């Protein structure tokens, strides 16, 4: 069985530019280390530099771990990253009620957005599994 490409190395490397804040680690489904990178500026930039070489392995692991399908991870992550406080990423997944609540409450005052950074890959994977 051929594995599906759920995540993009290009998006991973673009997020790596801001990786000292953990963006690429959240994207590849590593929320604990993403949070550590956020709090320590990428382990004082050392871990951030090392990650430049680890992105291909993180991409392969994410492709194996998460379900491909109609809901695209890259679109969901771009929407969360740039419009998360407005709930657009939730509306994209068909979660209209919580999306509208995010819109009205600025992403539940940011806490909902933080929750989604931790869980977006699992949310999309579950949605794709249910549809497939």
In sequence order, the 6+-apart residues with CB closer than 8 A to the CB of 82 are: none
Does residue 16 sit within a domain?
yes
Give the whole-angstrom CA distance, residue 52 versus residue 39: 19
Does residue 125 sit within a domain?
yes
Give the whole-angstrom CA distance, residue 96 versus residue 87: 9
Nearest to 93 by CA among 129, 124, 126: 124
Domain boundary among 65, 92, 108: 65
Residue 78 and residue 97 in one domain: yes
Tokens of 67: 């379900």
pLDDT attached to residue 19: 75
Residue 55 and residue 80 in one domain: no
Whole-structure pTM value: 0.91
Residue 55 and residue 78 in one domain: no
pLDDT attached to residue 21: 86
DSSP 29-62: T-HHHHHHHHHHHHHHTHHHHHHHHHHHHHHHHH
Does residue 1 sit within a domain?
no
Over residues 69-92, the mean pLDDT reads 96
What is the span of the domain harbouring residue 47?
9-65
pLDDT tens-digit series, residues 105-131: 999 999 999 999 999 999 999 999 998
């Amino acid at each position: 069985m051929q594995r599906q490409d759920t995540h993009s190395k290009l998006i991973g490397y673009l997020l790596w530019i801001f990786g000292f804040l953990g963006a690429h680690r959240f994207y590849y489904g590593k929320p604990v280390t993403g949070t550590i990178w956020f709090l320590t500026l990428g382990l004082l930039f050392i871990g951030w530099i090392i990650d430049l070489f680890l992105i291909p392995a993180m991409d392969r692991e994410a492709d194996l771990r998460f379900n491909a399908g109609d809901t695209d991870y890259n679109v969901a992550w771009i929407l969360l990253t740039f419009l998360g406080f407005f709930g657009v990423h939730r509306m994209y997944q068909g979660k209209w009620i919580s999306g509208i609540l995010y819109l009205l409450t600025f992403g539940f005052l940011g806490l909902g957005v933080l929750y989604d950074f931790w869980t977006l890959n699992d949310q999309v994977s579950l949605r794709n599994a249910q549809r497939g």
